[in-house]
Structure 1
Amino acid sequence: MKKIAVSLIAVAYSFVAFGQQENLSNSTKPIHAEEPVDGYVKKTDMENRKVIPYANIRQTDIAYSKRVWREIDLREKMNKAFASPKSKLIDIIIDAVMKGELTAYDPTPTENDPNGDSFKNVLPADQVMARFGGDSVLVEEFNENNEVVSSRYESKSFSGDNVIKFRIKEDWIFDKQRSVFEPRIVGIAPLIVPQIPGMDSNVGLQPVDAVAGQPTNADPFDPFAVPPVQENNTGDAEASPNVPTPLVNNTFVPQVDPTPAFWIYFPEARHILVNKEVVNRSNDATGLSYDDVFIKRMFASYIVKESNPEDLRIKDYLNDGVERLYESERIKKSLMDYEQDLWSY
């Protein structure tokens, strides 16, 4: 009986040994690996993950629904992972679109899609790169007299560094069957600033004071930018008035708000994001994918619009940047208050 037990234990240990991945760092004899592992183990769990579906909701069980549009600013500390060179969100989306794994939708308003975010007009993959400034660049060759002798077009590698914001369209739904009030993301859009002649090319960067040479506190392309503090003739500090166009080097620079380059249907994108790991500053073994980040709401954002009969954005009825921020927080609080009021007696 003891021999049988020992044999079973030995067989079990052998299966465990074969089941574990070979660790090259602990090898006692030379091993010629065909594919060296970059680390002690190879991360395969992220590649094999599948999307966890939402709970099914019937239309008759929706007691309350509210649609909001948010913007994620990658310059905020909590959103730095979205712009990490190791796993940049815009690179993941563009790569999936160019491979045909994701469908990009045209954000241009049309008759059948007045807001441009209803996922009705497909944007061809060859036009996606054109939204970021084109996929080729003209290269000219000069002689010793500084004369153009030849020119050619070369492919330009895509860079998502100028994408510093994402817009999210989501629905807040109260399911009376499950007694759950939850948000569900419908679409994601990278925001870009259209290239207009005469406009500052440093989009998304902190503007520099032409006199002092120091960064100011206001960003002309940020809808929630705080006006810089200036000194008046008496020496007292006062906030500068809102002007339609900022002055840079004594020249007017047109203000253009970031607009969506294209829209991505989030339920379709989940199957791509679930296999893309998010970089964590504190721990390399996060085990979190981009799908987890969006589902668990692990990002900072502000509301730019809520559904209303007039279809107005916050900036359409508020000019001051601080007031827009307060309005965003008011909308957010109203959603939270609705859930709290459900359980008040």
Structure 2
Amino acid sequence: MKKKILFVLTGLGFSLVSQGQVGNLNNSTTPVQEKEPPIDGYVIKSDVANRKVIPYAPIRQTDVAFSKRVWREIDLREKMNQAFGSPKARLMDIIVEAIKNGELTAYDPTSTKNDPNGDSFKNILPIDQVLARLGGDSVLVEQYNENNEVVGSHYEKRDWSGESVLKFRIKEDWIFDKQRSVFEPRIIGIAPLITPQIPGVDAFSATPQSPGASNVDPFDPFAVQASGEVTEANQPPVVTPVNSFGPQVDATPAFWIYFPEARHVLVNKEVVNRNSDATGLSYDDVFMKRLFSSYIIKQSNPDDLRIKDYITDDIDRLLESERIKKALMDYEQDLWSY
């Protein structure tokens, strides 16, 4: 009798344990109905989906002892930023999808009279113009007959992918709150950067026009010139001169989004990590904890100049960016005495 009671209690215990694991561990042995699809894995990742934004600490204007506005760029080709371009959770796809669903507002980056820099969130950009800037709008397709004559045309929707965006621009304020004795950055806006397609820019190259040309320099008086009749095989190569002063196409913002508004979307989007799938980091965590690599392109100044406006060399621009970073850190360190 005692053995029967022990067997019943043991079976009851196993059933309770299995019922407690139904929510996380998929131990189903019966066919799953369409209304209840199987669990993709052994743990349901519900913590990121149910998170709420942690609000900023309030700051009074009289408590701001120091403030500096900084513009910086994030290059997704850097190793530390490759998670932003992961096909599983690409940041650009998340932003565009939120704009389509009405969860985010896109702002026009065009310079206007009431918004000289185009990043003050003054003019709203409609969703159709957002897709047009990204190249995902409709395209006109013409129809031809057997005589190569246009007989009709129709519009087809052109697909767009976020993998074409390789850089993001961030506008942020570095603030020292004397009430809390905290020196911290607060991101104001984020903008994806796109490179405009200008016809004729790729024409500036130096390539020989004649594939059979010799390597003799026609301008060298001591070079041994080819004897005989000048033919297509031995005539000097015609080289298109390199125009180093040609048009330089820079990446420009496609639109701006207001970061405090975007936090409510990014807080529920998990970031893909190369080392572990159980990090539990959201895009809001990445931006708030500064888990990205960037370089400064501009700081607030009386002349409203970018670094590229007064420094031409690329390496010197990076050094100037590091100098500005160090100046901000030195300000915080100089506030205290040890």
Q: Is TM (by shorter chain) over 0.5?
A: yes
**Map of 1:324 onto structure 2:** 317
1:15 and 1:321, CA in 2 relative to 1: closer, same or farther beyond 3 A?
same
Query: What percent of counterpart residues are identical?
Result: 70
Aligned partner of 1:87: which letter? A
Query: Alignment partner for residue 177 of structure 1, among 154, 176, 179?
Result: 179
CA distance in 1, matches of 2:144, 2:207: 34
**Map of 2:217 onto structure 1:** none
Query: Alignment partner for residue 169 of structure 2, among 138, 159, 167?
Result: 167
Measure how far apart 1:187 and its partner are.
Answer: 0.3
**Map of 1:271 onto structure 2:** 264
| 1:262-311 Cα shifts (integer Å, max 9, x gaps) | 11000000000001111111111220010000000000000000011111
**Map of 1:59 onto structure 2:** 61
**Map of 2:254 onto structure 1:** 261
1:201-220 to 2 correspondences below 5 Å: none
**Map of 1:220 onto structure 2:** none
Measure how far apart 1:249 and its partner are.
Answer: 7.5
1:42 and 1:256, CA in 2 relative to 1: closer, same or farther beyond 3 A?
same
CA distance in 1, matches of 2:163, 2:139: 18
Three-state SS of the structure 1 residue aligned to 2:201 is coil
Unaligned stretches of 5+ residues in structure 1: 1-6, 202-207, 212-232, 234-247
Unaligned stretches of 5+ residues in structure 2: 1-8, 209-219, 221-238
Say whether the 8 Å CA contact 1:198–1:254 is kept in structure 2: no
Measure how far apart 1:15 and its partner are.
Answer: 9.3
CA distance in 1, matches of 2:190, 2:17: 46
TM norm structure 1: 0.78
CA distance in 2, matches of 1:289, 1:209: 47
CA distance in 2, matches of 1:19, 1:60: 54
Aligned partner of 1:88: which letter? R
CA distance in 1, matches of 2:145, 2:71: 53
CA distance in 2, matches of 1:309, 1:343: 28
1:310 and 1:92, CA in 2 relative to 1: closer, same or farther beyond 3 A?
same
- Whether 1:312 and 2:296 are equivalent positions in the alignment is no
- Whether 1:334 and 2:327 are equivalent positions in the alignment is yes
1:226-305 to 2 correspondences below 5 Å: 254-305=247-298
Measure how far apart 1:318 and its partner are.
Answer: 0.6
Query: Alignment partner for residue 85 of structure 1, among 74, 84, 87?
Result: 87
CA distance in 2, matches of 1:343, 1:104: 41
Aligned partner of 1:282: which letter? N
Query: Alignment partner for residue 152 of structure 2, among 150, 157, 168?
Result: 150
CA distance in 1, matches of 2:48, 2:309: 43
1:111 and 1:302, CA in 2 relative to 1: closer, same or farther beyond 3 A?
same
Measure how far apart 1:33 and its partner are.
Answer: 3.9
Measure how far apart 1:100 and its partner are.
Answer: 1.0
| 1:138-184 Cα shifts (integer Å, max 9, x gaps) | 22344455444432210112212221110000011111111111100
- List structure 1 segments (4+ residues) > 2 angstroms apart after TM superposition: 13-20, 138-151, 208-211, 248-254
Measure how far apart 1:199 and its partner are.
Answer: 3.0
The answer to which of 324-333 and 172-181 deviates more is: 172-181
Say whether the 8 Å CA contact 2:299–2:306 is kept in structure 1: yes
1:143 and 1:37, CA in 2 relative to 1: closer, same or farther beyond 3 A?
farther
**Map of 1:72 onto structure 2:** 74
- CA RMSD of superposed structures (Å): 2.8
Aligned partner of 2:132: which letter? A
Measure how far apart 1:134 and its partner are.
Answer: 4.8
CA distance in 1, matches of 2:123, 2:171: 17
CA distance in 1, matches of 2:60, 2:150: 67
| 1:217-238 Cα shifts (integer Å, max 9, x gaps) | xxxxxxxxxxxxxxxx9xxxxx
| 1:17-53 Cα shifts (integer Å, max 9, x gaps) | 44751522x33x3241432222222222111110011
The answer to which of 192-201 and 308-317 deviates more is: 192-201
Aligned partner of 1:106: which letter? D
The answer to which of 125-134 and 255-264 deviates more is: 125-134
Say whether the 8 Å CA contact 2:24–2:44 is kept in structure 1: no
Query: Alignment partner for residue 23 of structure 1, among 22, 25, 29?
Result: 25
The structure number with the bigger radius of gyration is 2
1:36 and 1:258, CA in 2 relative to 1: closer, same or farther beyond 3 A?
same
Three-state SS of the structure 2 residue aligned to 1:181 is strand
| 1:42-65 Cα shifts (integer Å, max 9, x gaps) | 222111110011111111111111
Measure how far apart 1:93 and its partner are.
Answer: 0.6
- Whether 1:32 and 2:25 are equivalent positions in the alignment is no
Three-state SS of the structure 2 residue aligned to 1:129 is helix
